[in-house]
């Protein structure tokens, strides 16, 4: 075979339509608008870990697809989330990423809200009496919030099914460690990446790409057989992979990880992960857990949040070692994640102007090895949610 | 080229040790960088996260760890282009024990292969320079970052 001409280049390969994704899913503005409404407006989204709000009145602020939100741990210990804008003039109320405040007070006219989102103070309220406006009319907009295994999820859709039903067992493999109550976040950073948001999720679903990482070629690919891997497509688009191992000492400068550093329920050299549709990945490497959350900004830009979780009771020495374990692979100076980010931006460069027409998700290894089944499952859910075929997404759109 | 304490004023030699360590990393001349480091090197890159209200250590290496890490860099898929460290030494506390504590401000720019430059990271170096031997050596560095969004990150220490 030789190189292809323009027509051949744009013709979909002769594989099932479930095994190919058009480049339009990354670039079409109408698709992005539909994703914001049908996916991010309706699906559960991981906002933070409970350990980020350990005390009464602790808050965390974050932006979710353009909406400023604030999560607050109330007097009753329950974490609630509100849209972080004042009912008065619409100004963003709290600007710090985290803190502790009994009252959320807008800087502009000093309207104040309590931990339940009720408006509890407005200076000189009598001027509103004539038109019948009271504090009771001016509470914050609350956003549905549910916690599961220490993970705090929000949903912008008041009518969405509950979180447990949505997850439907997708985090079962993580229950012993996440449910231990012994974890806290010790690492957090975020980056703007210049690529469509789906490209990040794909790097976490694409086992075949481990060839890109010299670190994984040395520590992972030969540590256990390809046949021992188990790649699962679960309900609601969630996926999971297990049966992977790591021989850390095979990479120069790294050492075998000891059992006494293992997190509850984990084995030091095991590696497994779960992807919660649409935008969360949770990865366990025995002594540290990484959680990725990707949030779209526009068709060509995303925000990725990375968290690292370890044991609450670590000594200072243990914590340093755990940070090292986490960051050797996953930190901003790690040997692994920067390469994934490079790949995401390289794919964006290929699709942005239409140079690349599609991508191929056609590896079939009976749910083992480097099977593309997780990516196909992800796009099957994407198609169900958006009403579009991933292979031909700008053709007819199915009604909801 | 290394700094010999006899050739320069002591303070100038301390500054040059800091500057040359950055120039070597800029040039990705890792053997020159390692040659400037003391055997008991401690190199950390840290940042404070206001989101989780914790100090974080993003990189921590001793001399052998740094040697291994840098040796592997050419085998990795890494950010294209070059990094350039602009360093201003603010304070030198030249202690009686022969260890000088040096505080510097730095910014690092990234220049892509097309020649476009942008700010990559800003922060502060807290260094210790060992002045006891014939050559002054970098004994300790903490690169504390103000910038926490590092885009696609870096395989090379800051």
Backbone angles phi, psi at B148, to 5 degrees: -115, -20
Rounded to two decimals, the ipTM of the complex is 0.94
Name chain B contacts of A338, Cβ cutoff 8 Å.
78-79, 152-155
pLDDT bin (cut points 50, 70, 90) of residue B1 is very low
A119: nearest Cα among A101, A137, A92, A132: A137
- The pLDDT assigned to B7 comes to 58
The predicted pLDDT at position A184 comes to 98
The angle that helices A337-351 and A197-205 make with each other, rounded to 10 degrees, is 130
Q: Does B27 touch chain A (CB under 8 A)?
A: no
The alpha helices in A284-368, defined as continuous H runs, are 316-330, 337-351
Predicted local distance difference test score (pLDDT) of residue A1: 66
- Which chain A residues are closer than 8 Å to B150 by Cβ? 189, 191, 332
Nearest CA in chain B to A214: B76
Please give the Cα distance from A235 to A147 (Å, whole number): 20
Phi, psi of B99 (to 5 degrees): -110, 120
Per-residue pLDDT band at A396 (split at 50, 70, 90): confident
Chain A from 163 to 192: CB within 8 A of any B CB: 185-192
First-to-last C-alpha distance (Å) of chain A: 43
Closest residue in A to B76 (Cα) is A214
Q: Are A292 and A191 in contact (CB under 8 A)?
A: no
% of residues, chain A, pLDDT over 70: 100
Among partner residues B71, B79, B150, which is closest to A342 by beta-carbon distance? Answer: B79
| Chain B CB contacts of A343 below 8 Å | 77
* Average pLDDT along chain A: 97
Chain B residues in contact with A193 by the CB 8 A cut-off are 151-152
Please count the residue pairs, one from chain A and one from chain B, whose beta carbons lie less than 8 angstroms apart. 104
Among A98, A185, A333, select the one facing B45 at the smallest CB separation: A333
With CB atoms and an 8 Å threshold, state whether B153 touches A212.
no
A20 in Cβ contact with A361 (< 8 Å) = yes
What is the pTM (predicted TM-score) of this model? 0.96
Q: In sequence order, which ranges of chain A are alpha helices (DSSP H)?
A: 6-10, 24-27, 29-34, 163-167, 175-178, 197-205, 214-219, 316-330, 337-351, 373-386
B118 touches chain A (CB under 8 A): no
Question: What number is the average pLDDT over the span B16-26?
Answer: 98
Query: Which chain A residues touch B57 with a CB distance below 8 Å?
Result: 320, 323-324, 327
Chain B residue numbers with beta carbons less than 8 Å from the beta carbon of A252 are: 68, 71-72
**Average pLDDT value for residue range A32-46:** 98
Smallest CA–CA distance, residue A334 to chain B, in Å, is 7
Quote the pLDDT of residue B4. 54
> Is A252–B71 a contact, with Cβ atoms under 8 angstroms apart?
yes
**Is B151 in Cβ contact with A334 (below 8 Å)?**
no
Q: Is A297 near chain B, with CB under 8 Å?
A: no
3-state secondary structure chain B: CCCECCCCCHHHHHHHHHHHHHHHHHCCCHHHHHHCEEEEEEEEEEEEECCCCEEEEEEEEEHHHHHHHHHHHHHCCCCCCEEEEEEEEEEEEECCCCEEEEEEEEEEEEECCCCCEEEEEEEEEEEEEECCCCECEEEEEEEEECCCCCCCCCCCCC
Nearest by CB to residue A192, choosing from B53, B65, B149, is B149
CA neighbor of A218 nearest in space, from A257, A245, A258: A245
Average pLDDT over residues A223-247: 96
Taking an 8 Å cut-off on Cβ atoms, the answer to whether B154 and A342 are in contact is: no
Exposure of A325 by Cβ count < 10 A (0-12 exposed, 13-18 middle, 19+ buried)? buried
* Least Cα separation, residue A305 to chain B (angstroms): 10
Please tell me if residue A97 touches chain B, with a CB cutoff of 8 Å: yes
Query: A-chain residues within 8 Å CB-CB of B58?
Result: 323, 327, 331-333
pLDDT digits (tens, 9 = 90+) for B135-151: 999 999 999 999 999 99
| Residue that wins the pLDDT comparison between A397 and A373 | A373
Span A295-318, pLDDT tens digits: 999 999 999 999 999 999 999 999
Token pair, residue A136, equals 């009771």
Q: State the best of B66, B77, B110, B142 to mutate against chain A, taking most chain A CBs within 10 Å.
A: B77
**CB within 8 Å: A337 and B78:** no
For the segment B55-107, what is each residue's pLDDT rounded down to a tens digit? 999 999 999 999 999 999 999 999 999 999 999 999 999 988 999 999 999 99
**B4 at the A interface (CB within 8 A)?**
no
pLDDT at A235 > cutoff 70: yes
Residues A47-81 have pLDDT tens digits of 999 999 999 999 999 999 999 999 999 999 999 99
| Chain A CB contacts of B148 below 8 Å | 189-190
Tens digit of pLDDT for each residue in A129-155?
999 999 999 999 999 999 999 999 999
Q: Which residue of A has its CA nearest to B64?
A: A253
Rounded CA separation A261/A292 (Å):
22
Interface contact A334, partner B, CB < 8 A = yes
pLDDT at A253 over 60: yes
Q: What is the pLDDT of residue B5?
A: 52
Q: Does A250 touch chain B (CB under 8 A)?
A: no
Tokens (6 digits) for A177? 């460690």
Instruction: State phi, psi for A359 to the nearest 5 degrees.
Output: -125, 155
């Amino acid at each position: 075979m030789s190189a292809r001409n323009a027509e051949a280049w744009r013709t979909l390969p002769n594989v099932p339509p479930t095994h190919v994704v058009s480049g339009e899913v990354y670039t079409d503005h109408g698709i992005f608008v539909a994703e914001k409404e049908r996916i991010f407006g309706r699906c559960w989204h991981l906002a933070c870990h409970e350990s980020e709000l350990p005390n009464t009145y602790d808050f965390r602020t974050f932006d979710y697809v353009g909406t400023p939100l604030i999560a607050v741990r109330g007097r009753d210990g329950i974490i609630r989330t509100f849209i972080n804008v004042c009912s008065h003039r619409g100004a963003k109320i709290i600007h710090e990423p985290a803190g502790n405040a009994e009252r959320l007070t807008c800087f502009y006219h000093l309207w104040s809200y309590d931990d339940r989102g009720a408006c509890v103070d407005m200076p000189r309220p009598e001027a509103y009496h004539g038109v019948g406006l009271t504090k009771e009319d001016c509470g914050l907009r609350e956003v549905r919030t549910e916690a599961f295994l220490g993970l705090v999820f929000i949903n912008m859709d008041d009518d969405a099914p509950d979180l447990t039903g949505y997850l439907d067992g997708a985090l079962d493999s993580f229950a012993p460690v996440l449910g231990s109550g012994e974890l806290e976040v010790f690492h957090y950073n975020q980056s703007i990446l210049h690529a469509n948001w789906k490209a990040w999720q794909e790097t976490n679903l694409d086992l075949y790409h481990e060839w890109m990482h010299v670190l994984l070629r040395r520590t992972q690919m030969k540590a256990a057989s390809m046949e021992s891997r188990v790649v699962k497509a679960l309900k609601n688009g969630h996926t999971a992979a297990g049966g992977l191992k790591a021989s850390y000492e095979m990479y120069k400068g790294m050492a075998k990880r000891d059992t006494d550093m293992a997190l509850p329920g984990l084995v030091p050299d095991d590696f497994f992960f779960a992807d919660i549709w649409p935008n969360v990945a949770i990865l366990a490497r025995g002594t540290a857990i990484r959680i990725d959350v990707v949030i779209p900004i526009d068709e060509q830009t995303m925000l990725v949040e990375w968290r690292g979780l370890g044991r609450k009771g670590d000594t200072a020495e243990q914590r340093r070692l755990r940070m090292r374990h986490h960051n050797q692979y996953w930190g901003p100076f790690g040997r692994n994640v920067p390469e994934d980010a490079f790949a995401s931006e390289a794919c964006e460069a290929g699709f942005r102007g239409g140079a690349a027409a599609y991508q191929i998700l056609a590896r079939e290894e009976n749910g083992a090895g480097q099977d593309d089944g997780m990516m196909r499952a992800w796009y099957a859910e994407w198609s169900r949610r958006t009403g579009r075929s991933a292979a031909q997404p700008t053709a007819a759109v199915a009604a909801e | 080229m290394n700094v010999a304490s006899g050739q320069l004023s002591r303070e100038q030699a301390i500054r040059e040790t800091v500057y040359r360590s950055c120039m070597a990393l800029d040039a990705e001349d890792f053997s020159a960088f390692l040659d400037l480091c003391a055997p008991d090197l401690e190199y950390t890159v840290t940042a404070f996260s206001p989101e989780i209200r914790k100090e974080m250590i993003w990189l921590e290496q001793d001399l052998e760890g740094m040697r291994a890490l840098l040796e592997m860099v050419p085998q990795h898929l890494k950010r294209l282009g070059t990094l350039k460290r602009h360093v201003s030494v603010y304070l030198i506390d030249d202690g009686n024990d022969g260890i000088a504590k040096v505080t510097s401000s730095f910014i690092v720019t990234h220049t892509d292969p097309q020649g476009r430059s942008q700010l990559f990271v800003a922060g502060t170096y807290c260094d210790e320079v060992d002045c006891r031997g014939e050559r002054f050596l970098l004994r300790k560095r903490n690169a504390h970052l103000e910038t926490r969004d590092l885009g696609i990150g870096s395989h090379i220490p800051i």
